[in-house]
Structure 1
Amino acid sequence: MKEIKQIITAYNAARSRGKGAVLATVVHIEGSSYRAPGARMLVTEDGSLTGAISGGCLEGDILRKALMVMTTQKPLLVSYDTSDEESSVITVNLGCNGIIRVLLEPIIEDNPYHPISLLKLAVEKRHRSILVTLFSLNAKKDAGQGTKMLFTPTGVHQSKEGKGPGFSALEPDIQTAWKQKHAMFIAYPVTDENTSGYNAFLEYLEPAPALVIAGAGNDVFPVVEIAKTLGWEITIVDGRPLYANENRFPSCQLVLSEPAEAIRHIKLDERTAFVLMSHNYDYDKAVLKNILYTPVKYIGLLGPTKKRDRILKELIQEGFQLPEDTEIPTSLYAPTGLQIGAESAEEIALSIIAEIQASLTETHGGPLRNLKGHIHHRNMGIVLSKKSYGVLLLAAGESKRLGTPKQTIAYKGSTLIQHAHHQASSLKTAVSLTVISQGDITLKDLLNQTDAVILENPDYKEGMASSIRTGVDHINRFYPNVEYLLIMLCDQPYVESAHLQTLIDTQQKTGKKVVASLYEGRKGVPTLFHRSLFPHLLELRGDIGAKNLIESLDNEVVSVAFPLAAFDVDTNKAREQLRD
């Protein structure tokens, strides 16, 4: 966030001088690179640079190209190959062994949601957001490229400039990135509106870490200085105005109050770290008591283990219940800091800040030389959009073993078929089809209460294969952009959207053509099938379904364990065991 704020400040200064500007953003990498996607640099008309997209090796060439973009007022995607001197893209021998793609965007003031405007909205409040940047590998000068959208808990801000997928197409993938809390790279198919086949960089942004320090002694100064260098938001909590004042801490928010009152004035979230270093036992104890049940993930307590144990023991004796059934709460780091042999105030500050950083990023803080493989584990694969997937819910048949239509059995306030459709449709894929028996008025009435696309199968008495053929044929005729079809049944009540999403996530990570559910030692539905297997699905006959096809593909299938899929409502005994 610090780099983004510096870019915003630099842009405001350039604008006040009447200078044009171009924003350079790393939108994708293959292999290794010094900076990750999301690294930015602002180039202004007078040649000044703010931010960085590499270790200094690419900035000169970016400056030249940015000045050209300023003239044309058209975006440009530039690729740098840092390893292959024979490559057709621009080669730079940096030793990083990767391809870096940088998007250059002119800042056009007439556009109310130009890239800098969206960045401003992203940092103005302490909330998570998804920033969407479109780029085209097929047309590097495509005018539709650029930072186009910001998704926040309070709304969506979208640029109307250029073509490309809109929010309705992007939303399912944005929601996935939001839930998984990491960046994604999505390929959107070529359509009449999306003639360049855009890729989207969905950048997951979190607010800058907030550091709250209880105490205002001299040993707090180096902690504040390091945190300020990192761009963290800093608050000092202390009840002594002689220590906690603007002359001593000009860059910090100051809260002069007793602990309980002080906490009410501070917004605490999962990106907040609290360090207790007041050197006053009772003050530290009072603060700890008031923050143990907050979302704060890191609470550092300065001092020896004896101090920690005494405070916790006294809190329990006073009737305070610790948030976890453990001797030491997981959020409490006491003594605070990494073990680096720190002695001086500056060294201790370094150990504390390093431990906070490791805690926020959920890493261990060990030596990099002990790592095997890459230093950074970045997921850079460009995966298919949710709009390249479809769902086929099989709900035809006579329920002969049960003796009554299983689809209409009450479950979770509705029926099995309505519940299954709700789980499928919540994925927000390109289409969610439901196949029922031809002439089944009851099921049609139930599904008409939903947004289901209903297909009637005239050959339902043949068995499950006929319903699969009905659905696949419909996909082939009306949804040519669907690359994967998820086949599921309506009588597996414990199959919910979370598992269906896991199947899609697994396909995107592995690239496999088939992703099946694993239960009772076998692979079965729900299962994802790639389009290349659609002809095989159309050849199925009888009541066997896709099980034989899955088994015949063997090693080409990746499986996801889900034991609950073994329960299906095929008998009266199973119906009696069904639980909401």
Structure 2
Amino acid sequence: MNESSAILEFYRSASREGTPVALATVVRVDGSSYRRPGAKMLIARDGRINGSVSGGCLERDLIRRAVLALDQNQSSLIRYDTRADADDDEAEALVKSAGLGCEGVIEIFLDPNPALHLSAIERVIRSDVGEDFYVDVPNQAPFIDRIEPPHRLILFGAGHDAVSMWRLARELGWLTTVVDLRSSFPVPKSLFSGVDRYLVPDLVEAVEKAQVGPHSLVILMTHQFEHDRALLSALSENPPLYVGMLGPRVRSEKILNSLRGQGNGVAFPNLHSPLGLDIGGDTPAAVALSALAEIQAVLSHRSAGFLSARKVPIHSPEGGPGEKDEVSTSRLTLGGVER
């Protein structure tokens, strides 16, 4: 379950109990901060929380302020300044006493009436279409909260390695579909208990049944040459955002050459094979980590190098996503090898 879905579940549970809640949203960051603008935490009147707006250093103070906001039915903008030369008001004194030393400013909007904001999140999750929600911040221009639906991962293959893949994807908050083509020795379906969708279609209708779209993240792990070739051919008609295929490069080249020999010369720039980052390890868990780390890098337009070697800030000082890396990769296409 992704963070937004978890917050909604928490909200529904609190509503059933009759427990008031306040929503804390990061609306501005200047300098270093653990979370970026748009990060949220729902705070119940009894002190329970769901979500996060920091690495744990601000939550206790926010709970106290949320209870006050709920009692007074009054929204507020809270500014936490962790810079060494910050003026010492109450919030700054809190972070200084904790010795955080993060060297940044975080502004958090606390809303004791978050129903409209949470309804917008629910709409996005249900419709799978992102939208902008305008947050009226006191004495500032409205904060535009860009709400995006959770990423959707589709695994073609239900072997033992797919279990680690979907479990890690669940930790990332991605919605996962497992397509069991019975192409390799399948594991008991019970090991996929909790997966968002589990399908057992015929090969010819697998891509359609899985509802692959332009924003889908697809991994081919059937361990069957003919199945992967048929799936890749079907996917080439409307390529998804990402396609990764297990197996060595020579296997991928054989599949692509076979498709090209059938007259399918459509380029497939989103194909990554072998999939994953070069981190070593050959266990199912290590392969899953390598594969999903690569997908995260693709989604973030990052080169997936060592952060310790990065010459620019991880995030932009103003709190945006930061500069996109010039990602250099070698990818296979249906017309040959792209270097």
Q: Same fold (TM over 0.5)?
A: yes
For 2:291, the aligned partner's letter is I
Q: Which residue of 2 aligns with 1:130?
A: 132
Deviations 1:227-257 (A, max 9, x none): 0111111111123398376423122212212
8 Å contact from structure 2 (residues 28, 318) kept in 1: no
2:105 is paired with a residue whose SS is strand
8 Å contact from structure 1 (residues 23, 104) kept in 2: yes
Deviation (angstroms), 1:50: 0.9
Q: Which residue of 2 aligns with 1:213?
A: 155
Deviations 1:51-83 (A, max 9, x none): 111111110110111000010111111111111
**2:109 matches 1:103:** yes
**2:190 matches 1:247:** yes
Deviations 1:206-242 (A, max 9, x none): 2211111111111111111100111111111123398
**Equivalences for 1:543-554 in 2 at 5 Å?**
none
Q: Which residue of 2 aligns with 1:377?
A: 316
8 Å contact from structure 1 (residues 25, 38) kept in 2: yes
Measured on the aligned residues, the alpha-carbon RMSD in Å equals 2.0
**Equivalences for 1:185-334 in 2 at 5 Å?**
198-240=140-182, 243=186, 246-252=189-195, 253-322=197-266, 324=267, 329-334=268-273
For 2:194, the aligned partner's letter is S
Q: Which residue of 1 aligns with 2:301?
A: 362
**2:119 matches 1:117:** yes
For 2:294, the aligned partner's letter is E
Deviation (angstroms), 1:262: 1.5
Q: Which residue of 2 aligns with 1:573?
A: none
2:240 is paired with a residue whose SS is coil
Q: Which residue of 1 aligns with 2:292?
A: 353
Distance 1:86 1:370 in 2: 29
Deviation (angstroms), 1:86: 4.4
Deviation (angstroms), 1:306: 1.0
Deviation (angstroms), 1:88: 4.8
Q: Which residue of 2 aligns with 1:20?
A: 20
8 Å contact from structure 1 (residues 133, 201) kept in 2: yes
2:253 is paired with a residue whose SS is helix
Distance 1:201 1:225 in 2: 34
Distance 1:86 1:249 in 2: 51
Change (3 A) 1:33 1:216: same
2:191 is paired with a residue whose SS is coil
Which structure has more relative contact order (CA 8 Å, sep 6+)? It is 2
For 1:307, the aligned partner's letter is R
Q: Which residue of 1 aligns with 2:70?
A: 70
2:111 is paired with a residue whose SS is strand
Q: Which residue of 1 aligns with 2:283?
A: 344
8 Å contact from structure 1 (residues 236, 244) kept in 2: no
8 Å contact from structure 2 (residues 244, 275) kept in 1: yes
Fraction of identical pairs, as percent: 33
Unaligned runs of 5+ in 2: 321-339
8 Å contact from structure 2 (residues 170, 176) kept in 1: yes
Q: Which residue of 2 aligns with 1:144?
A: none
Deviation (angstroms), 1:115: 2.3
Deviation (angstroms), 1:317: 0.7
1:212 is paired with a residue whose SS is strand
| TM-score (norm. length: structure 2) | 0.87
**2:11 matches 1:11:** yes
Distance 1:361 1:354 in 2: 10
For 1:66, the aligned partner's letter is A
Change (3 A) 1:378 1:214: farther
Deviations 1:311-359 (A, max 9, x none): 011101112222x2xxxx3211001111111221211111001011111
Change (3 A) 1:122 1:237: same
Deviation (angstroms), 1:122: 2.4
Deviation (angstroms), 1:378: 5.9
| TM-score (norm. length: structure 1) | 0.52
Deviation (angstroms), 1:36: 0.3
- Runs of 4+ aligned residues of structure 1 deviating over 4 Å after TM superposition are 378-381
Unaligned runs of 5+ in 1: 139-197, 382-580
